[in-house]
Structure formats: C-alpha cells, structure tokens
Amino acid sequence: MKIDVIRKLPEHLDTLILMQEESGTIQSVEYVPAELLSPIETFMKSEEFSFSYANLKSFSMIVAKRRLNIILLGVGDKEALTPNKLRNLFASAIRTAAKMNARQIYLFPGFTSTVNDVAFGHVLAESALLVAYRFDKYLNSDKNKLFPESLHYVLNTKNTRHLNRGILEGRIYADATNLARDMVNEPANVMTPDALAEAAKRAALQYGFTIETHSQDKLRRIKMDAFLAVGRGSVREPKLIIMRFNGNPDKRQECIALVGKGLTYDSGGYCIKTPQGMVNMKNDMGGAAAVIGAMCAISSMKLKVNVVAIVAACENMISGDAYRTGDIITSMAGKTIEVINTDAEGRLTLCDAIHYAIEKEHADRIVDIATLTGAAVAALGNQFSAVVTNNDAWLEQLKTAASFTGENIWQLPAHDEYKELLKSDIADLKNVGGPMGGAITAGLFLREFVQDKPWLHIDIAGTALKDKESGINPYGATGVGVRMLTSLLKGME
C-alpha cells in the first residue's frame, strides 16, 4: 500500500475519511471539495452525528457517475489524543474503508494533534498496513478481493519531513509484525521447526542480520537436554536458531538477548491436551515469531544496539520415545528438573535457550517472550500480556515502549515465596508449580536460569491470537511483541 502526504487532490475521489474534533466544523477542514459539504452536513443532521471520540459513520453517494465513499470519524477532544488512541482511530476508519472496497483513500484531518509528527506518521502508516493484512493464501474463494492501494494524507504543509520519517518507521514496524503474523498463521504441518529456521534465514537475508542454526547432533554435544527432551517425541528434529545484529560494534559493552518460545506445535505430549485446548497450538511459536520480527525491524532501522535472538524450535508430540512424566532431565545449565507435566514444555525449551544466550552469546540482558501459560490467560484475558521481571527499572522502559505501541502489559508479582511451589524432593526443580499462580511460577522457573542478568519475561499466551478482528488486529495471529520489543530496543540505543 502506498502511503503519502499530498496537497493536491485528483479530479475523482474514491474514498474520503474525514476526521474531526468534536468542537470543530466540517467547513474548517481544508481541501474538502465544496460540493461535498452540503451532502455531508445533511447526512450528519439526519444521523444526529457528532464527532465524539471514535464515533464513526459511513455512507456512499454518486458523484459524476462514480461512487464516492465517505467516512466520518470523531476525534473527540484532540488534547486527549495519544499515539495509541490515534492508531485505533485510524484503524477503525481504514477497516471501514476496506470493507467498502476502497482503493484510494484520502484522509482529511480536521484537527491538529498534539502528538508529534514522527509519531503521527508512524501510527498512520502502521495502522493502515496492520489493518490491511490478510492471511488468505489457502483460500480458493475470495482470492481476488480488492484491498486499498493507497492512503493519501491530505495536508496543507510543505514541511513533511518528520511525517514522512514517521511513515517510514511505521511501515517498518508493520511489515515486521505482518511477517510474524504470517509465520504464526501458517499451520503446523507447514511451519515445522525446519521451516521456521528457513523462514528466519530468508528474513535474515532480506533484512541484513546474521543467522546460524544448530541441528540435533550439535545440540546433544552442547547438552541442551531440556530442550531436546521436549522435541524428542516428534519425527521433526529440533532446531536452535541464533540470530545476531551488531548495531553498535565499537561499543560492544552490552548484548541484549531476545529469547522466543518456538513450539511449532504443542499437543501437550503424554499429558495430552483436550481437542479444544489443542486447536490453536500452532501459535505456540508466537514468541519466536515476535523475536524474528523484531530482528527484522531492528536491522531495518539499523538501531545502535547489539542484539542476539535465540529460538529453540521444536514440536511437543507423542511417540514411543517422547519424554514422560517423572523423567528427570539435566538442563544445559546443570540444574536438574523433575517433569511433572509434559505440557509445561515451553519453560524447558526456554531455560536452555536462556542459558545458551548467557554462556555462548555472552548476553548481558535477557528478554524472553512466550505463549507460556493458560494461567496468564486466566489472569489477564486476551487484552494484556503478563510480565515477570527481576529488574523494575528495565520494566519501566518496557512499559514506555508498550504504551507507545499499544501492546498492553501487566506485571505479576514474583515474590520469592512462590518459589516454594517449584521445589522437588528428588531434583533441583519441578517443571510445574501446581494449579495456583501458574503464570508466576512459570516465570520464576525461568528466573532460575538468568543468573544475575536483568531479565524481562513476557507471557503472550492470551494476546498472540484473536478469534475475531478488532482494532489493528485481524482474525488470527496478532504479531504481538514485535513492535514492543523493537520500541524497547529503540529506547536503549
């Protein structure tokens, strides 16, 4: 989709979005063709339309034998706008336009925002590209459905430098998110551990970060036995994917590790899930997709940070050789783990991946992101991702990033007393802490492997997938985490 800022309108308009603050008037919106003012006002009167926040109405009319779509959208009090509110406003208008089969969208802003031009351009482009995303490659019908070709922001200014910089940045964020969505939406029969590694390689080539993968033999040699135990039930071999971006080579003072859970499918193993619990488990690599997407965006923007991303990709399946409950496995870090539940597999792959990041890649800080627990969904529903940390100062930075990108996060208490729940009589740790506080104990399990490094754990079990479209998100994968991680690292340049 082409996105630009224009001052000259073509002769024929296809779709018009009019955004207006509640106290303003249509007449004051620049460039709106004079002959449209009276039909718009008539429509507003008949509908008793007011430009209160997020109020939206649309209609079509014939002008010079062509159909013209008009979308009215209330901004409410422009002083109360934030980048995220703007993003949601744009999203609802552009989604409406797409549903009206708009090809060229002209957006008329009847307000001047207190959001700065870079952020404004960013959320404009980002929302348009995120809303226009579809995963339709397996649909034989509906294939030729038209989608918007262009979005023109109609503005009377010569100084579009900051807006355009924001548009560029928003496009990078959205493209990376859509790449992650694609990976998650692919079914598990296609997106195997191998295929995930290949997809990451293609992304590395395209965006300019380096990548290395380790196969089973190598993983055995370096004793990633917790990771290997989870993958053992599948005929598809596990793959460790290591991606690096050194944006600050002369100051190699700090390397930040992004560790993403990469279960391409989670049947639960011998502690098998119910059919209902299993149906969406192709999305159990949503954390992996988030870190791969973030690597793309980070390299695109050439951020001055050193980042390594680690994905331990495998499938949790059942077979004669799958791991069992009661098994005691020795993690790469040397800590022994009693397997109480084979469905608590994510933390077993992550604890080795985290240890790998520290030992082999010399990571100084760690963020892990994972569709880790149903308990996080029970606690926060599908609007907030749960966060556990050992470093509140760093969490503040994540909060700033997440509030800009509109990806809601909420901290869970990681009080030491909860650790009792992970005590085993015969090993260093149990892999589950029982029915209470499951999202917390999962986090505390991982904390055992981060040593003294600042660490953020983001549980996206509730937020990685939508069962119906809303805001910037379509049905299916949201790509949650890509923009939040990118923005976090941008703030750490």
Verify binding: residue 375, ligand BES, rule CB under 6 A.
Answer: yes
Cα radius of gyration (the chain): 24
The one segment of 222-230, 236-244, 343-351, 365-373 that binds Mn ion by CB under 5 A: 343-351
Write the binding mask 429 to 468 for ligand BES: x where contact by CB under 6 A, - elsewhere. Answer: ---x-----x----------------------x-------
Write the binding mask 66 to 95 for ligand BES: x where contact by CB under 6 A, - elsewhere. Answer: ------------------------------
Least distance CB 320 / ligand BES (angstroms): 22
Least distance CB 473 / ligand BES (angstroms): 16
When the beta carbons of 237 and 343 are compared against ligand BES, the nearer one is 343
Verify binding: residue 247, ligand BES, rule CB under 6 A.
Answer: no
Which class for 55: exposed (0-12), middle (13-18), buried (19 or more C-beta within 10 A)? middle
Least distance CB 289 / Zn ion (angstroms): 14
- CB neighbours of 71 closer than 8 A, spacing ≥ 6? 15, 16, 17, 18, 56, 57, 58, 93, 96, 97, 100
The one segment of 84-92, 263-271, 374-382, 417-425 that binds Mn ion by CB under 5 A: 263-271
Active site residue 490: no
Cα separation, 171 vs 178, in Å, equals: 10
Verify binding: residue 266, ligand BES, rule CB under 6 A.
Answer: yes
Q: What is the DSSP string of 337-368?
A: EE-S-TT--HHHHHHHHHHHHHHTT--SEEEE
When the beta carbons of 192 and 390 are compared against Mn ion, the nearer one is 192
Verify binding: residue 368, Mn ion, rule CB under 5 A.
Answer: no
Closest CA to 322 of 348, 302, 295: 348
Instruction: Compute CA distances 36 → 32, 97, 109, 285, whole Å.
Output: 7, 18, 16, 49
Cα separation, 215 vs 239, in Å, equals: 5
Cα separation, 162 vs 118, in Å, equals: 5
Among 24, 247, 374, 454, binds ligand BES (CB under 6 A): 374
Instruction: Compute CA distances 454 → 368, 393, 440, whole Å.
Output: 11, 9, 17
Closest CA to 342 of 263, 421, 418: 263
Taking CB atoms, the residue at the shortest distance from Zn ion is 266
Active site residue 236: no
Using CB under 6 A as the binding rule, the residues of this chain from 331 to 370 that contact ligand BES are: 341, 343-346
Verify binding: residue 318, ligand BES, rule CB under 6 A.
Answer: no
Least distance CB 386 / Mn ion (angstroms): 16
Instruction: Compute CA distances 139 → 1, 134, 136, 216, 263, whole Å.
Output: 21, 11, 5, 35, 25
The angle subtended at Cα 350 by Cα 347 and Cα 353, nearest 5°, is 160
Least distance CB 184 / ligand BES (angstroms): 11
- Please work out the total of residues on this chain that contact ligand BES, with binding judged by CB under 6 A: 16
When the beta carbons of 129 and 432 are compared against Mn ion, the nearer one is 432
Catalytic residue among 134, 223, 236, 273: 273
383: its two tokens: 């609007």
Least distance CB 269 / Mn ion (angstroms): 8
242 binds, among ligand BES, Zn ion, Mn ion, none (CB under 5 to 8 A by kind): none
Least distance CB 368 / ligand BES (angstroms): 14
Among 14, 169, 186, 284, binds ligand BES (CB under 6 A): 284
When the beta carbons of 75 and 461 are compared against Mn ion, the nearer one is 461
**122-159: b or e for each residue (b if 16 or more CB lie within 10 Å)?**
bbbbbbbbbbbbbbeeeeeeeeeeeebebbbbbbeeee
When the beta carbons of 343 and 407 are compared against Mn ion, the nearer one is 343
| DSSP-based three-state secondary structure for 325 | coil
Verify binding: residue 131, ligand BES, rule CB under 6 A.
Answer: no
**28-37: b or e for each residue (b if 16 or more CB lie within 10 Å)?**
ebeebeeebe
- CB neighbours of 82 closer than 8 A, spacing ≥ 6? 115, 403
Verify binding: residue 343, Mn ion, rule CB under 5 A.
Answer: yes
Among 175, 266, 448, 459, binds Mn ion (CB under 5 A): 266
Taking CB atoms, the residue at the shortest distance from Mn ion is 343
Least distance CB 286 / ligand BES (angstroms): 8
Catalytic residue among 347, 447, 483, 490: 347
When the beta carbons of 5 and 278 are compared against ligand BES, the nearer one is 278
Cα separation, 284 vs 465, in Å, equals: 10
The angle subtended at Cα 169 by Cα 163 and Cα 171, nearest 5°, is 105
Q: Which residues bind ligand BES (CB under 6 A)?
A: 266, 284, 341, 343-346, 371-375, 377, 432, 438, 461
- The residues that are catalytic are 273, 347
